[in-house]
Chain A
Amino acid sequence: MNTRKTTIALLASSVLTMGVGFLHAATPVPAQEPIEIYKQGDPAKGAKLFQTICAACHTVGGGVRVGPDLAGVHKRRSSEWLHKFIPSSTKMIASGDPDAVAIFEKFNKTLMPDQVFTTKQVDSILAFIESRGGDASAPKKIDMTKPAGNPKIGAALFDGRRRLASGGPACNSCHDLNHDTVMGGGVLSKDLTKAYSRLGGEGVAAILSNPPFPLMKRAFQDHPISKAEATGLIAFLWEADVEAPMEAGRDYGWLLFIRGVVGVGIILALLGFLWRGRKTSLVNAKIFERQMGSVGVSD
């Protein structure tokens, strides 16, 4: 029941998002005054916004996570561009802005979800980034030491053998992962086998605590993942990541197909043998054949 409600809500929200996007496209954006807008922002408020919304994918000086390191972004891009891009990057990519498209291409074609920010909020975020200073650092090496937490609990939570306390959907509803402790999962979203080495413990934690992706965000909005659960999941994702080379690869190649065909053949042959005495033809067949054939009638 719960899952069903969530699904309906998810569908509704996606439709709504699309609708909003369409409205945006229809109404021309009023030209912005070229001023040092971020100066008007409040770095404290910006820090809070950044932590809750942006930190899942971005760092300031911490290196690339899902999206680019934002340290010094106020110097790299114009204020006007940032004010357009931050609330609605998808629209800019769709409109073919060369810089926006370049970023999109560079970061694995992962869209940054649109956010409902007021101009003032964007100012605050930029003010916060400015206050941190510095420049984008080289991608940091992900720390692959074993995180705290019990991977077994994480595995159980991942494939739903154990429910999330808040009633949220299990990870394998949308995500696949290759590990022998769990069965596979959905293909709606990214395969998480190498998620840990991609995002690191902090990145995973940030996504779990505040999912930036619209569907995931909606799914867990009313069913947040608890700290303890997140620890378990992080430990499990780490385990799956480091053990990935030991896992048997999933081979969906020709061999599987051939084995299937041979298997079906064997089963059919067995059935044919077991039921060899069955009545296979019409008792009347010969009579029909002769009678119908003799007058040249065919059906």
Chain B
Amino acid sequence: MDVRSQVSMVFHLDKCIGCHTCSVACKNIWTDRKGAEYQWWNNVETKPGTGYPTKWEDQSIYKGGWEKVGDGIELKGAGHKKSLANIFHNPHLPQIDDYYEPFTYKYLDLIESGPSTDQPTARPVSLITGQPMDIKSGPNWDDDLSGSPDYARNDPNLEAVTPAEKEAMFQLERMAMFYLPRMCNHCLNPGCVASCPSGAIYKRGEDGVVLINQDVCRGWRMCVTACPYKKTYYNWHTGKSEKCILCFPRIESGLAPACMHSCVGRIRYLGVVLYDADKIHEAASVSDKDLVDAHLDMILDPFDEEVIAAAKANGVADSTIRSAQLSPIYKFTKVWKMALPLHAEFRTMPMLFYVPPLLPVMASVKKVDNSAQNSALNEKSKVWPDNWLYDTSTEDLFGTVSQARFPMKYMAAMFSVGDEGKIEDVMKKLMAVRIHRRQVTVGDIGAEKANEALRKAGLTAEEAESIYYLTSLAKFDDRFVIPANHREQAMELMEFAGDNKGSVGFGFKNDTAKRGL
């Protein structure tokens, strides 16, 4: 057993309001530079939708991730032979227009234009060429456009559903959408690391953050192809690739990453988990249907004496183990089994998990008699003399789950490699917690019915309360359990810290990246 610690994340999609604050926080800190304008290390997509870059999930286009070959796995679009054959022309890269051409506006024209019969306008200019341009696309051009023929209907996940189900999804009465915030998953089996011909990408030993060494990167761009989530980006100005660094300078200081810190819906959770690195290859090579289970099985119980002993033997600090025991990630993924990896079939073992969303419940319009209500209103009140009710209640406990707006198959294509049962289990848990809390706060359901719901979802009342707490009431320190960084120990792997004793500061400072090798 090779126990290591990994900074891992959970995004609770039921809480995401799609405000893009995370993306903007990230952009302002990290990618507001020449050559990085088009990069959104964090972005929020509308599902169903094509995403950013367009159709990134369709690996028949971009050839990202791993594929099962015999008993093992191979990179789909990179790896020794493929990289060597294509090293001077990587044939599956997204083009800039597959992302979007970054732009700004000539705002100064609004102030400095001379007198004219027309209003001055701020023309859009390309951030790449500096020339005026017609804006054709943006990083979230499909935002809120469920049902649109260009975006929603081209969602690659819709291949999992039948054409009839697809049409049903986009009926006006059923129309729904949810948001999918995405960032680097800091995978356990990262395709980008495996594909890099220069060996510039590495997974940090102490916390598993995947980083690109800008001094070593030679801009071959194999990582851009190899990452199935398209979360490594090529900076055309420096000639090197870049990716999310999980705000490691912030994590090292005990702060949550900027995207998580700024999250308005508080959907993001971060904490360490202990996992067994010996199992990576085996778990990444199992058949599709076992992938999610094999993935989650790698996460170890941080309370297990054996695991703790193995972790200590491997140099994992006591504070990190303690942190793993308090980790909200461990609770969501292992204790409550509510969080699932996104597209586990890419076999990179992503360490960002999603709690799939309960979509707005379906409703029906019922004929009722509203006359008693209406007669109770005073003269000045507006009265609708109709006798219809938009009714969201169902007789069946989990009726809203089984009659969800989107077919389970669609959700399963994203979060459980096609296993609808797993999605349904999570949905039931989400629903059961709601029913339980309604019983606690409103009391109109009946204890018996509420308990039955919990029992059917496999939860106890205490568990439901903890889920409710961590979902709705959690404080900053509950959502982000960041272990001490022990940077002094990490540093000593590279240089003798005693040399700096008595002088100012640890570490080293590099200038910002310049183009060149």
Task: Spell out A's residues near B (CB within 8 Å).
Answer: 274-275, 277-279, 282-284, 286-288, 290-292, 297, 299
Contact = CB atoms under 8 A, between A and B. Distances in A.
A292 B136 CA distance: 8
A279 B89 CA distance: 11
A288 B93 CA distance: 19
Interface string B92-135: 11110110000000000000000000000000000000000010
B134 A299 contact: yes
B136 A279 contact: no
Interface string B150-191: 110010000000000000000000000000000000000000
B62 interface: yes
A288 B54 contact: no
B95 A288 contact: no
Given A288-B137, A291-B136, A297-B134, A283 B53 contact: yes
B95 A287 contact: no
Contacts of B91: 275, 277-279
B77 to A, nearest CB: 10
B61 interface: yes
B279 interface: no
B55 interface: yes
Contacts of B98: 282-284
B61 A284 contact: no
28 contacts: A274-B85, A275-B86, A275-B91, A277-B91, A279-B61, A279-B62, A279-B91, A279-B93, A279-B94, A282-B97, A282-B98, A283-B53, A283-B55, A283-B61, A283-B98, A284-B54, A284-B97, A284-B98, A284-B136, A284-B137, A286-B150, A287-B137, A287-B150, A288-B136, A288-B137, A291-B136, A292-B136, A299-B134
Chain B facing A: main interface SS? loop
Contacts of A279: 61-62, 91-94
Q: Which 9 A-B pairs have the closest CB atoms?
A: A278-B91, A283-B54, A287-B150, A283-B98, A279-B92, A284-B54, A282-B97, A283-B55, A288-B136
A79 B98 CA distance: 86
B50 to A, nearest CB: 8
Nearest to A275: B91
A282 B98 CA distance: 6
A151 B62 CA distance: 62
A65 B52 CA distance: 80
Nearest to A283: B54
A262 B253 CA distance: 64
Given A275-B91, A282-B98, A283-B61, A290 B134 contact: no
Nearest to B149: A290
B64 to A, nearest CB: 12
A274 B91 CA distance: 11
A286 B137 CA distance: 13
A278 B61 contact: no
Contacts of B95: 282
Contacts of A283: 53-55, 61, 94, 98
A279 B63 CA distance: 10
A292 B133 CA distance: 13
B379 to A, nearest CB: 51
Contacts of B92: 278-279
Given A279-B62, A284-B97, 14 more contacts: A279-B61, A279-B91, A279-B92, A279-B93, A279-B94, A282-B97, A283-B54, A283-B94, A287-B150, A287-B154, A288-B136, A288-B137, A291-B150, A299-B134
A278 B151 CA distance: 24
Nearest to B96: A282
Nearest to A288: B136
Contacts of B154: 287
Nearest to A280: B91
Contacts of B151: 287
Most buried by A among B86, B93, B95: B95
A291 B154 CA distance: 15
Nearest to A286: B150
A172 B62 CA distance: 52
A297 B135 CA distance: 11
Nearest to A298: B134
Contacts of B89: 275
Nearest to A297: B134
Interface in B34-90: 53-55, 61-62, 85-86, 89
A88 B98 CA distance: 72
B491 to A, nearest CB: 42
A298 to B, nearest CB: 9
B158 to A, nearest CB: 16
A288 B91 CA distance: 22
A210 B334 CA distance: 95
A283 B53 CA distance: 9
A292 B135 CA distance: 10
Contacts of B62: 279
Contacts of A288: 97, 136-137
Nearest to A279: B92
A293 B86 CA distance: 36
Contacts of B134: 292, 297, 299
A66 B91 CA distance: 62
A277 B136 CA distance: 27
A283 B60 CA distance: 12
Contacts of B137: 284, 287-288
A58 to B, nearest CB: 60
Contacts of B97: 282, 284, 288
A284 B98 CA distance: 6
A274 B53 CA distance: 26
A5 B98 CA distance: 54
Interface string B469-488: 00000000000000000000
Contacts of A292: 134, 136
Contacts of B86: 275
A234 B414 CA distance: 82
Contacts of B94: 279, 283
